[in-house]
Structure 1
Amino acid sequence: MLSHFLPAALAAALAAAQPAGDAAPVLQQDGKTFRDLNHNARLDPYEDHRLSTARRVADLLARMTLEEKAGAVMHGTAPTPQGVGGGVGETYDLARFETLNRDRHINSVITRLSARPDVLAAQNNELQSVASSSRLGIPVTISTDPRNHFQRTDGASLAALGFSQWPEPLGFAALDDAEVVRRFGDAARREYRAVGIHMALSPQADLATEPRWSRINGTFGEDPDRAARMVQAYVVGFQGAPNGLRSDGVAAVVKHWVGYGAAPEGWDGHNHYGRFSRLGDAELETHIRPFLGAFASGVAGVMPTYNILQGVTLDGAPLEPVGAGFSHGLLTTLLRDRYGFQGLVVSDWAITNDCSENCRTGATPHRFGDIAMPWGVEDLSETERFAKGMNAGVDQFGGTEQTDRMIEAVRQGQVSEARLNQAVSRVLRLKFELGLFDHPFVDPTAAARTLAEPDRQAMADQVQRRAMVTLENRLPGPIAPGARVYLHGVSPEAARAAGLVPVETAQEADFALFRLAAPFETPHPNFFFGSRQHEGALDFPADDPALADLQRVATLKPTVVSVYLDRPAVLTPLKPLATLLVGEFGASDAAVLDVAMGRAQTEGRLPFALPASMDQVRAQDPARPDDLGAPLYPLGYAWTEETGGHQSSSLSK
């Protein structure tokens, strides 16, 4: 649509330049074009891209109703036909989103779509089209969990469909090369923006100090200084600038502030049984150190942990025993006042929901309605939780669209309008900094081309190989093409593509190739997240079929063993069985085969120590890094031909 006062020729030219689906008329002034976001046929300050962000934010804020402000501080889920909570699919439920946007004024959502790049871009344009018809035309900020790695976990990451596929963050930590991490962030930034995604709910600056913890694969390991370097480079790459957010950048939200990794027995804070972290004041300072890298690079957002921190004091007083999203001490006293963070605080998902008896006990298998993490404030009403979270320092609540609760909190005087305005201003500022008010739409055809660029995946493939860690190597030399190979957990097609000949039995083979994963248990099968997470023991059970097969084959042939280390596995029984033993953190079969055949060299060093036994794990302090005593393979270890094993750790103890 075009403003009625434009000459016909100019109107036609502007119409041709206007993205399809954009309901905002185009205005022309001083030879420049502007989007008439509120459809009033005049250029208002918040529509004028020549003005400062502060001026535009102030003008728009003054125009918003209480209901619109309440919508701005919700970070909902872009609905899909697959069901409540969004669901993973290939299309959005646009009718439901239109209701959320029109009636509840929701304009920040996480996308869980897993679709071809052109389809994803077109679907995100549909969300922007709906928003362009709203009263003020406020564009949608679209966020995502990580998409560029191997492991997919509900509520933590998504499949890499169409996106370049890199190692997990642990692989970057193994390389300890900040420039590689920055280049990865830059590649992911280009891919995200090409498909219309503006916010990364990452990186994880959490320290992997408890080996049994199920979220280790998303961290940069247990060395706080190495993690700080990696986090800083990650934020710079995603945001596009060394100190702040570029207009074509992706807003990074560093998480989870703070102490999430100090989880007794490794139980995760998504679950009622894992709601505590235990650490002292000195350990808290250690867990803060990786976040300093994010602050140094001007990170746009911070996400608090779910966990209640036990054993921590601030200014001589114990922390209030509530989750970090409700903790004034952690969000205001520590994050805002001590560390000077001025960006957006986005709560983790579902902290304001009611936790039912089944949510707490897992007596029966959880359904979607059982998901809730209001730790420490379970007995407050939902309205009181919104008020407590906002007064503690949360600017936007993740995973909820309950604007009526926020409106009620303001009208009852539990939240001041000044505090609400402060939070909304931070939300709007980010939208302006990302250029969304002026350019919310993307080109699906260009998105398909961008994500199909071969150089980006070639770079990722190289990093997959480099990031592996050689733990043992007794091979007399590289495996030659034409060799016959017995496979366990490896695609025969990949072996043939590498020039090898797959055979059915070990007796026929020249060598065997095993791909294994770190062991895990599922001791909480009724909990929504506990049923999906890798928990419990890190050693291979005696009756493990993969271990039994390896033990049998190792008596017959040389064995190449690759282990996916999403947690620090106990590899003691594998060490004497493997002729070549490699740890990997997200790699294709082709990458593992290239290492086995000497076509690629591993360069990684362990980002965490590997325990010799579960007794060591049970004896260590879950809050302290590098606390296993005498591990099987220490932090920083990598086998080298010169020494037969070399330790290199940057951890200062």
Structure 2
Amino acid sequence: MQFAIARHGAAELQKFQGKPVLRTGTAHRTLCTLLLGAACSTAFARGLPAQLTIGSRTIPVIVIDGLQFRDLDRDGQLTPYEDWRRSPDVRSADLVSRMTLEEKAGAVMHGNFPEIATERGMSSLGYDPEPLRALVQSKKITSFLTRLAVPPARMAEQNNAAQKLAEGGRLGIPLTVSTDPRHHFLYITGQGSNGAGYSRWPESMGFAALGDVSLVRQFGDIARREYRATGIHQALSPQVDLYTEPRWARGYGGFGSNPQVSRAMASAYVEGFQGGRGGIGQDSVLATIKHWVAYGATENGLDAHNAYGHISRVNARTFKLQIEPFLGGFDASVGAVMPTYSVVDGARVNGKPVEQVGAGFNRQLLTDLLRGRYRFKGIILSDWSITNDCLQRCMAPSAETPQGRAELGMPWGVEGLTRMQRFAMGMNAGIDQFGGVAEPELIVEAVHKGMLSEARLNQSVVRLMTVKFQMGLFENPFVDARDTARTVNPPEVAALALKAQAEAQVLLKDPHKLLPLKPGTRVFARGISAEAILSAGLVPVTNPAQAQVALVRISAPFERLHPYHFFGSRQHEGRLDFRAGDPDLVSVQELSAKVPVIAALFLDRPAVLGGMDTAASTILANFGVSDEALLASVTGRIPPKGKLPFELPSSMAAVEAQDPALPDDSLSPLYRHGAGIMPHH
């Protein structure tokens, strides 16, 4: 017997399409509970409005007792999972009981949206509809990462088109759309996306420099609204890995080297993105805290995206430090966790050494530690491509045979297994969903061969579907593209983001009190537009000899140690020190012979300043800053307030001697963690 519950009117039994319909008001909860059990009581307890917003393109909408529901399975009746008055847990369990093995296997894939190809590779057009149709309708995939670099209105339109395609599925399961961070400055495949119209803030390291958890929470709240307005539901962030190895290419994505600061920032970030500390709700963006765990404790700072950098080394003390930032996410009920690629060497769980396989295959790290000790109940999403093979072009590419996107694979510690065996091992270890792959047939094969139980698969699919229900996607996965103009980066948000960029800068030195520059100061600039100089009330000049001061953008030094690897060709590796002949150092030294130099130093890694500290009169470090925000600080309109979120080592010898898993432990750092001064007024 199937009932519909209305939240108004006196209790009475009626007929709807030949089925009994229960109409009940608040005074009749006892009768409702007797008839419907938990589904009824939770409908009242959840405090839902009398009618949720329904959005549909091709799925019929049915009306029961004056309330609207999407008829997702198109049977003309209110199937339990279609009833938004039931709890997400009840709806998810009902839905999964109706799914085929193939549909469940598709649900545990988190694919990449196929893009319309362009000569430059990055699409500015949209999703490629026919490959997407095959992924959604044939492979039954219901979660996708978007890397589109398009304006917000276009993003909304493209995600709406993808959701309309998903409506054609047998059960009408909506898509979950995820993104790498797109509110910052660094755009590296697999690490960040071009925001193209979203509000622009400093990198996470800039928030750490400010140490303002309320600002992080406010940023998360703004980003949440911008994402949801454009049809994005999951953030593949925050990254909370401790920056303990200064050479590491991914450190800038976290909140610095201090475990307590990182924990507080992680908590505020999750709270902002998810809309509170109580878990996922109707307006949430699912936050994904990463990378569990010890990703940053990598040998020589080499990154685990690459075969040559897949080992992280810890001991009992440093492993505990590496875990602490994640506790902030757990404090805020984070909805998803992404394990590291790394093989974690030296850790122990429940007194036993951790198996030497990547974290995505490691039951000790995922089930025993994450779910057991820390009681995490959300989604565990693998990092991208862990089940792919890593063959010759992946392990040892060359100039003649460089590694391309097609050769990406990170199966560290399980290279000898087949892809099907890796899927089974990952799920049995605790993975709920696999990032960047679209091979549900291998999950089906693993179940048929008895390597993976369907009961285990069901656990993951229930978790994945529950979040979709919690976010209201089954009722309305569509957005109004016209609303993006009001919601995404309105003037008041742009001003707040600009202020954060400016204040997050760290003034390391200004002994001659050059800052703030007075209006009308003649400025020779490098890496800053003349228009921005003029707008700031300064006078741009093209000859340093005519200038009163030079303002020069410079970056922390780096090397390309592995130019034929896909990520090695993109990541900043190797040395951190300015050396004789380095273009930035030469430029500043030559200018300093003619005019005082203000060096605007981008610290994506902790630079060893050496001669730069002598050559530049003033050093203003940043973690992502526009010309306008930089000049707002230089002129004193928005003074810098940041403090270093990590130390700056004094030499490469000190870097090489430090423990890669221990924060701020180099010998005699030039600038210590927390360094930073205020401009003279």
Shorter-chain TM-score tier: over 0.9
Which position in structure 1 is the counterpart of 2:434?
397
- Could you tell me how far apart the structure 2 residues matched to 1:565 and 1:531 are? 19
- Could you tell me how far apart the structure 2 residues matched to 1:357 and 1:369 are? 12
Of the structure 1 ranges 177-186 and 96-105, higher mean CA displacement relative to structure 2 is found in: 96-105
Counterpart of 1:502, as a letter, is P
- Could you tell me how far apart the structure 1 residues matched to 2:678 and 2:504 are? 15
Of the structure 1 ranges 28-37 and 595-604, higher mean CA displacement relative to structure 2 is found in: 595-604
- Could you tell me how far apart the structure 2 residues matched to 1:100 and 1:447 are? 28
CA offsets 1:508-527 (integer angstroms, 9 cap, x no match):
11111011111111010000
Alpha-carbon RMSD across the aligned residues, in angstroms, is 1.7
The structural deviation recorded for 1:555 is 2.1
Change in 2 beyond 3 A, CA 1:83/1:306: farther
Which position in structure 2 is the counterpart of 1:619?
657
The structural deviation recorded for 1:439 is 1.1
Residue 506 (structure 1) aligned with residue 544 (structure 2) = yes
Residue 519 (structure 1) aligned with residue 557 (structure 2) = yes
Which position in structure 2 is the counterpart of 1:373?
410
Counterpart of 1:464, as a letter, is Q
Counterpart contact for 2:515–2:634, Cα < 8 Å: no
The structural deviation recorded for 1:94 is 1.4
- Could you tell me how far apart the structure 2 residues matched to 1:198 and 1:357 are? 37
State which of 502, 520, 524 in structure 2 corresponds to 1:482: 520
- Could you tell me how far apart the structure 2 residues matched to 1:455 and 1:594 are? 17
Residue 443 (structure 1) aligned with residue 480 (structure 2) = yes
- Could you tell me how far apart the structure 1 residues matched to 2:669 and 2:581 are? 24
Of the structure 1 ranges 332-341 and 548-557, higher mean CA displacement relative to structure 2 is found in: 548-557
Change in 2 beyond 3 A, CA 1:83/1:640: closer
Residue 190 (structure 1) aligned with residue 225 (structure 2) = yes
The aligned runs of 1:327-346 (5 Å cut-off) are 327-346=362-381
What is the DSSP-based 3-state SS (H/G/I as helix, E as strand, rest coil) of the residue aligned with 1:28?
Answer: strand
The structural deviation recorded for 1:499 is 1.8
State which of 286, 289, 292 in structure 2 corresponds to 1:251: 286
What is the DSSP-based 3-state SS (H/G/I as helix, E as strand, rest coil) of the residue aligned with 2:537?
Answer: coil
- Could you tell me how far apart the structure 2 residues matched to 1:245 and 1:542 are? 53
The structural deviation recorded for 1:612 is 1.1
Gaps of at least 5 residues in structure 1 are 7-16, 645-653
The structural deviation recorded for 1:260 is 0.1
Counterpart of 2:461, as a letter, is V
Residue 146 (structure 1) aligned with residue 181 (structure 2) = yes
Change in 2 beyond 3 A, CA 1:641/1:439: closer
- Could you tell me how far apart the structure 2 residues matched to 1:575 and 1:359 are? 39
Of the structure 1 ranges 315-324 and 140-149, higher mean CA displacement relative to structure 2 is found in: 315-324
Which position in structure 2 is the counterpart of 1:648?
none
CA offsets 1:181-200 (integer angstroms, 9 cap, x no match):
00000000000000000000
Residue 550 (structure 1) aligned with residue 585 (structure 2) = no
What is the DSSP-based 3-state SS (H/G/I as helix, E as strand, rest coil) of the residue aligned with 2:611?
Answer: coil
Counterpart contact for 1:377–1:385, Cα < 8 Å: yes
Change in 2 beyond 3 A, CA 1:210/1:18: closer
Residue 24 (structure 1) aligned with residue 62 (structure 2) = no
Counterpart contact for 1:79–1:87, Cα < 8 Å: no
- Could you tell me how far apart the structure 2 residues matched to 1:101 and 1:151 are? 31
Counterpart contact for 1:90–1:120, Cα < 8 Å: no
State which of 450, 459, 470 in structure 1 corresponds to 2:496: 459
Change in 2 beyond 3 A, CA 1:586/1:74: same
Counterpart of 1:395, as a letter, is D
Counterpart contact for 1:203–1:255, Cα < 8 Å: yes
Which position in structure 2 is the counterpart of 1:593?
631
The structural deviation recorded for 1:476 is 5.0
Counterpart contact for 2:528–2:553, Cα < 8 Å: yes
Counterpart of 1:93, as a letter, is D
The structural deviation recorded for 1:542 is 1.3
The structural deviation recorded for 1:541 is 2.9
Counterpart of 2:252, as a letter, is N
The structural deviation recorded for 1:601 is 1.2
Which position in structure 1 is the counterpart of 2:210?
175
Which position in structure 2 is the counterpart of 1:62?
97
Residue 46 (structure 1) aligned with residue 98 (structure 2) = no
Which position in structure 1 is the counterpart of 2:607?
569
The aligned runs of 1:121-520 (5 Å cut-off) are 121-363=156-398, 364-473=401-510, 474-475=512-513, 478-520=516-558
The structural deviation recorded for 1:18 is 6.9
Which position in structure 2 is the counterpart of 1:650?
none
- Could you tell me how far apart the structure 1 residues matched to 2:623 and 2:675 are? 15
Of the structure 1 ranges 587-596 and 318-327, higher mean CA displacement relative to structure 2 is found in: 587-596
Counterpart contact for 1:515–1:563, Cα < 8 Å: yes
CA offsets 1:18-55 (integer angstroms, 9 cap, x no match):
75x71110000111100000111111010000111111
What is the DSSP-based 3-state SS (H/G/I as helix, E as strand, rest coil) of the residue aligned with 1:261?
Answer: coil
Number of aligned residue pairs: give it. Answer: 628
Change in 2 beyond 3 A, CA 1:476/1:61: closer
What is the DSSP-based 3-state SS (H/G/I as helix, E as strand, rest coil) of the residue aligned with 1:265?
Answer: helix
Counterpart contact for 1:246–1:433, Cα < 8 Å: yes
Counterpart of 1:635, as a letter, is H
CA offsets 1:342-362 (integer angstroms, 9 cap, x no match):
000000000000111221112
The structural deviation recorded for 1:243 is 2.7
The structural deviation recorded for 1:316 is 2.5
Change in 2 beyond 3 A, CA 1:219/1:476: closer
Counterpart contact for 1:314–1:329, Cα < 8 Å: yes
Counterpart of 1:484, as a letter, is R
What is the DSSP-based 3-state SS (H/G/I as helix, E as strand, rest coil) of the residue aligned with 1:574?
Answer: helix
Counterpart of 2:248, as a letter, is W
- Could you tell me how far apart the structure 2 residues matched to 1:220 and 1:234 are? 11
CA offsets 1:149-171 (integer angstroms, 9 cap, x no match):
01111111011211000000000
Change in 2 beyond 3 A, CA 1:152/1:477: closer
Change in 2 beyond 3 A, CA 1:349/1:87: farther
State which of 94, 112, 132 in structure 1 corresponds to 2:129: 94
What is the DSSP-based 3-state SS (H/G/I as helix, E as strand, rest coil) of the residue aligned with 1:346?
Answer: strand
The structural deviation recorded for 1:328 is 0.4
- Could you tell me how far apart the structure 2 residues matched to 1:251 and 1:504 are? 49
What is the DSSP-based 3-state SS (H/G/I as helix, E as strand, rest coil) of the residue aligned with 1:348?
Answer: strand
Counterpart contact for 1:212–1:266, Cα < 8 Å: yes
Counterpart of 2:662, as a letter, is R
- Could you tell me how far apart the structure 2 residues matched to 1:201 and 1:48 are? 30
Which position in structure 1 is the counterpart of 2:6?
none
Which position in structure 2 is the counterpart of 1:532?
570
The structural deviation recorded for 1:87 is 5.3
Change in 2 beyond 3 A, CA 1:429/1:199: same
- Could you tell me how far apart the structure 1 residues matched to 2:122 and 2:439 are? 19
The structural deviation recorded for 1:569 is 0.5
The structural deviation recorded for 1:129 is 0.2
- Could you tell me how far apart the structure 1 residues matched to 2:635 and 2:660 are? 38
Counterpart contact for 1:467–1:603, Cα < 8 Å: yes
Gaps of at least 5 residues in structure 2 are 1-15, 19-52
CA offsets 1:382-410 (integer angstroms, 9 cap, x no match):
11000000000000000011011000000
Of the structure 1 ranges 143-152 and 94-103, higher mean CA displacement relative to structure 2 is found in: 94-103
Output the TM-score relative to the length of structure 2: 0.90
The structural deviation recorded for 1:452 is 4.2
The structural deviation recorded for 1:83 is 8.1
- Could you tell me how far apart the structure 2 residues matched to 1:76 and 1:641 are? 48
The structural deviation recorded for 1:640 is 4.3
What is the DSSP-based 3-state SS (H/G/I as helix, E as strand, rest coil) of the residue aligned with 2:133?
Answer: helix
Of the structure 1 ranges 601-610 and 444-453, higher mean CA displacement relative to structure 2 is found in: 444-453
The structural deviation recorded for 1:244 is 1.2
What is the aligned-residue identity percentage? Answer: 49
Counterpart contact for 1:74–1:401, Cα < 8 Å: yes
- Could you tell me how far apart the structure 2 residues matched to 1:521 and 1:88 are? 28
The structural deviation recorded for 1:572 is 2.4
Counterpart of 2:414, as a letter, is V
- Could you tell me how far apart the structure 2 residues matched to 1:106 and 1:546 are? 48
The structural deviation recorded for 1:416 is 0.7
